[in-house]
Structure 1
Amino acid sequence: MSSITKQIQFVKSQIADYCQQYHREPHAVQLLAVSKTKPLSDIAEAYACGQRHFAENYVQEAVEKIQQAQLSDWQNEPIQWFFIGPLQSNKTRLVAQHFDWVQSIERLKIAQRLSDQRPEEMPALQICLQINISQEANKSGTDFEHVFELAQEVSKLPRIQLRGLMAIAQKFDDPQLLDESFSRLQQCFDQLSQLYPNIDTLSLGMSGDMGAAIAHGSTMVRIGSAIFGARN
């Protein structure tokens, strides 16, 4: 058994334990394996033990992996590719043409370009709006005050589908502050899901704050180094 297989099994057991602890359904939280900087051989190991959702931050690197994966024998159960990094206007066409999800939308302009550039023969591109829940200057994301307006405009666009929210937590020394920021995000998610029936995804939580994220309604946790080891 490879180390990647062991780590995926361990992370999934952690997710199951947190779901039980916080009275969530066992399969309510999906594992998104963050494979940025890692070779396709590592992704193949994770795929072999059942992982199908992979996330990337760097467009050109990711597109090369996606194209290689399309030549593999994985097409009966294809990978779902998620883009989770900051997205510049000059890279939207590549993302629109190759990814299944984009979880880092903070501006209408980027969503509009993805909508315009999504090939008509492909399924709708699934979209999450990124919220900067702690208003940190070095983090991407819109703020709580503008997310409802952004959701209203993005939901009108063709060839993309609004599915939820994504956030990256600030590293707090005080767990109560983390809980407060996650609680506010959960309330925002609940309000949006009442307005838009397709909203069902709260992408929240990484290795260090996965438990708190699951306690506050996360439906998808993004785990990288705990599966694949330190970044290259």
Structure 2
Amino acid sequence: MTSIAIKLDRINAGIRQAEIDAQRVPFSTQLLAVSKTKPAADIIKAYRAGQRQFGESYLQEALLKQKELCCYQICWHFIGPIQSNKTRQIAAHFSWVHSVDRLKIAKRLNEQRPDNLPPLNICLQVNISNEQSKSGFQLEELAGAVEQVLKLTNLKLRGVMAIPQPATEYELQCEPYHQLYQAAKALNKPEMDTFSFGMTGDVKAAIAEGSTIVRVGTALFGRRSG
């Protein structure tokens, strides 16, 4: 086994244990392998070890990898900041977008999604820690944004995504995820079944608070160069 395959097994085992600890349904949390800045060769190693979902943040880099890896059955997720001039290519080349941080971007993705593709799965990014340095909807804006996005027929609203302020204590890691999970559930929208919470440093807390997709890069591929 390659080192990536060994790490993948370890990460998945940790996810399963976190589900048990939180009394979650087994396999209710997926691993999204964050492969940004990593070479296609690393993605192939993870793919051969069973990983199918990969997350990218830099559009041009992602498009090159998609071309190189076109023979693999990979589900590509865009998880980075979205500039208006990048929406057309994102709409055409990804199955999921986790980082829809304003209605303008949602509307552009909807308009630019090719007719021959199924609706684009999206999550609304919520700035749950109210950090000025981060984009996303404020929590009080979420309900209104959901109603607007549900009208966009080329998008499939799946849920919410958050990158809270980093914390080392478990309770502090749990708090923002709990807040957002409860707020999203209170909207009573059955189609919103996805909670894109948690990264390498807080996977256990995220799963305890309802995460269905954890985004892990460093623990799988090592430190990123960018």
**What's the TM-score bracket when you normalise by the shorter of the two chains?**
over 0.9
- Report the counterpart of residue 197 of structure 2 in structure 1: 204
Q: Any unmatched runs of 5+ in structure 1? A: none
- Report the counterpart of residue 213 of structure 2 in structure 1: 220
Q: Which amino acid aligns with 2:167?
A: F
Q: How high is the TM-score relative to the length of structure 1?
A: 0.94
- Report the counterpart of residue 44 of structure 1 in structure 2: 44
Q: Do 1:189 and 1:202's aligned partners in 2 also have CA atoms closer than 8 Å?
A: no
Q: Which amino acid aligns with 1:202?
A: F
- Report the counterpart of residue 54 of structure 1 in structure 2: 54
- Report the counterpart of residue 3 of structure 1 in structure 2: 3
- Report the counterpart of residue 153 of structure 1 in structure 2: 148
Describe the superposition over 1:140-188 as per-residue Cα deviations: whole angstroms up to 9, x where unpaired. Answer: 2111010111111011012111000000121235443332222111101
- Aligned-residue RMSD, C-alpha: 1.1
User: Could you say what secondary structure the match of 2:69 adopts?
Assistant: helix
For the residues of structure 1 that align with 2:117 and 2:169, how far apart are their CA atoms? 45
Percent identity between the two aligned chains: 48
Report how many residues are paired.
225
Q: CA deviation at 1:50?
A: 0.8
Q: Trace 1:18-37 onto structure 2 (pairs within 5 A).
A: 18-37=18-37
For the residues of structure 2 that align with 1:179 and 1:218, how far apart are their CA atoms? 11
Q: CA deviation at 1:93?
A: 0.5
Q: Trace 1:30-179 onto structure 2 (pairs within 5 A).
A: 30-70=30-70, 72=71, 74=72, 78-179=73-174
Q: Which amino acid aligns with 2:194?
A: T
Q: Do 1:104 and 1:130's aligned partners in 2 also have CA atoms closer than 8 Å?
A: yes
The runs of 4+ residues in structure 1 deviating greater than 2 Å are 172-180
Q: How high is the TM-score relative to the length of structure 2?
A: 0.96
Describe the superposition over 1:27-53 as per-residue Cα deviations: whole angstroms up to 9, x where unpaired. Answer: 000000000001111100000011000
Q: CA deviation at 1:117?
A: 0.5
For the residues of structure 1 that align with 2:108 and 2:224, how far apart are their CA atoms? 30
Q: Which amino acid aligns with 1:141?
A: G
